[in-house]
Amino acid sequence: MSEPILSISGLSKTYKGGVKALDDVQLDIRKGEIFALLGPNGAGKTTLIGAVCGLVRPTAGTISAFGHDLAIDWRAARARIGLVPQELSTDMFETVYRAVSYSRGLFGHPPDKARIEEVLRSLTLWEKKDSQIRELSGGMKRRVLIAKALAHEPELLFLDEPTAGVDVDLRKDMWKQIAALRERGTTIILTTHYIEEAEEMADRVGIIRKGQILMVDDKDAIMQRMGRTEAVIELSEPLAELPASIAEFPVELREDGQELCYRGGDGAGGGREDVARLTKALIAAGIDYRGIDIHDSSLEDIFVGLVSEQEAAQ
């Protein structure tokens, strides 16, 4: 396991009105990874980012980045962290080039035209460099925010809902940008509502709800541990009961015996192999079927399931 670039311990935040946004959060982020923080609205994702980036004052706990305690050596830590906020907050009357140059200087870096050009070109903003930000579309404004965050070459980048309100093409384009950043060694923490996004890009996933981290694990490990295959087999003739050779599979009869539903597997292809064996067993038992619908559970299914379980438990 690579060294943690960010360590959060016992982090809590209670707002003035008494709302507990973070509750004893423990989290280590590894160098060079893409970490996706998933959670429903109001789960505490943005507060967590705000606490690390200096926008929110924690009520308790410690945060250290690059070995610097953020409560003490915050300048050195912040100089290496970038933030793309959720809201499209930019100086609308500033030009793209000046806004990005300003961000670089604000973080203590000398002017570097080549670097600014590189960032703007990588985000296809170069042609718009002299435009006022207010003249740009929502997607382009989002890119400007990313360019501003990248201008000082951060080693740790927070992307708070980076593709919110962005069309599908642009979203996929941004995924490429994020992958390219990772190639350069930038550690990325992103929050997202699009679980597809986490599934596509993340190395590890954290699920947060009501300020508490419910789970942190490698995405593939989660999929393997909690992923399931569901197959619905539409039978030619309804069955009253299952023969013994079929009952050994994790199946149940539905729709008055007209459908056989399989739920099982390991999220790593084992379920599909099981379904193949099941169909052979059906034929061997003389049971005919008209169709099969197979569906592997996504990270979204796992996420929704976990959050529902928690809600039911409470």
Partner 1 sequence: MMTGMGFNFRGAWSIYQRELMRAFRTAFQSLIAPVITTSLYFIVFGSAIGSRMEPIGGVEYAAFIIPGLLMLTLLGETTSNSSFGIYMPRFTGTIYELLSAPVGVAETLIGFVGAAATKSLILAAVILGTATLFVDYEIKYPLFAFGFIMLVAASFSLFGFILGVWADSFEKLGIIPVLILTPLTFLGGTFYSLEMLPAPWDKIALANPIAFLVSGLRWTFYGTADVSIGVSLGLTLGFLAVCTAVITFIFKTGWRLRE
CB closer to partner 1 out of 33 and 160: 160
What are phi and psi for residue 154, nearest 5 degrees?
-70, 150
CB closer to partner 1 out of 100 and 307: 100
Please spell the DSSP secondary structure of 141-162, one letter per residue.
HHHHHHHHHHTT--SEEEEEST
What's the half-sphere exposure (Cβ side, CA atoms, 13 Å) at 61? 23
CB closer to partner 1 out of 15 and 42: 15
Tell the smallest beta-carbon distance from residue 69 to partner 1 (Å). Answer: 13
- Listed in order, strand segments (DSSP E) in the chain are 4-14, 20-30, 34-38, 60-65, 68-69, 81-84, 156-160, 187-192, 204-209, 212-218, 229-235, 251-254, 259-264, 289-296
SS3 1: coil
Torsion of CA 117, 119, 120, 124, to 10 degrees: 130
CB closer to partner 1 out of 58 and 206: 58
Token pair belonging to 252: 């149940």
Tell the smallest beta-carbon distance from residue 230 to partner 1 (Å). Answer: 43
Tell the smallest beta-carbon distance from residue 186 to partner 1 (Å). Answer: 13
Tell the smallest beta-carbon distance from residue 78 to partner 1 (Å). Answer: 4
CB closer to partner 1 out of 157 and 287: 157
- Listed in order, strand segments (DSSP E) in 15-59 are 20-30, 34-38
CB closer to partner 1 out of 78 and 204: 78
CB closer to partner 1 out of 100 and 205: 100
Tell the smallest beta-carbon distance from residue 132 to partner 1 (Å). Answer: 10
Tell the smallest beta-carbon distance from residue 213 to partner 1 (Å). Answer: 20
Q: Which helix (H) or strand (E) holds 223?
A: helix 219-226
**Strand 60-65 versus strand 4-14 pairing type:** antiparallel
Tell the smallest beta-carbon distance from residue 56 to partner 1 (Å). Answer: 5
Token pair belonging to 292: 């099969």
Compute CA distances 133 → 44, 93, 100, 251, 274, whole Å: 30, 6, 11, 57, 55
Binding site for partner 1 (CB under 8 A): 15, 50, 53-57, 73-76, 78-81, 83, 85, 87, 89-93, 98, 102-103, 105-110, 148, 153, 155
CB closer to partner 1 out of 107 and 249: 107
**Strand 34-38 versus strand 187-192 pairing type:** parallel
Tell the smallest beta-carbon distance from residue 113 to partner 1 (Å). Answer: 15
Residue with tokens 């002299």: 130
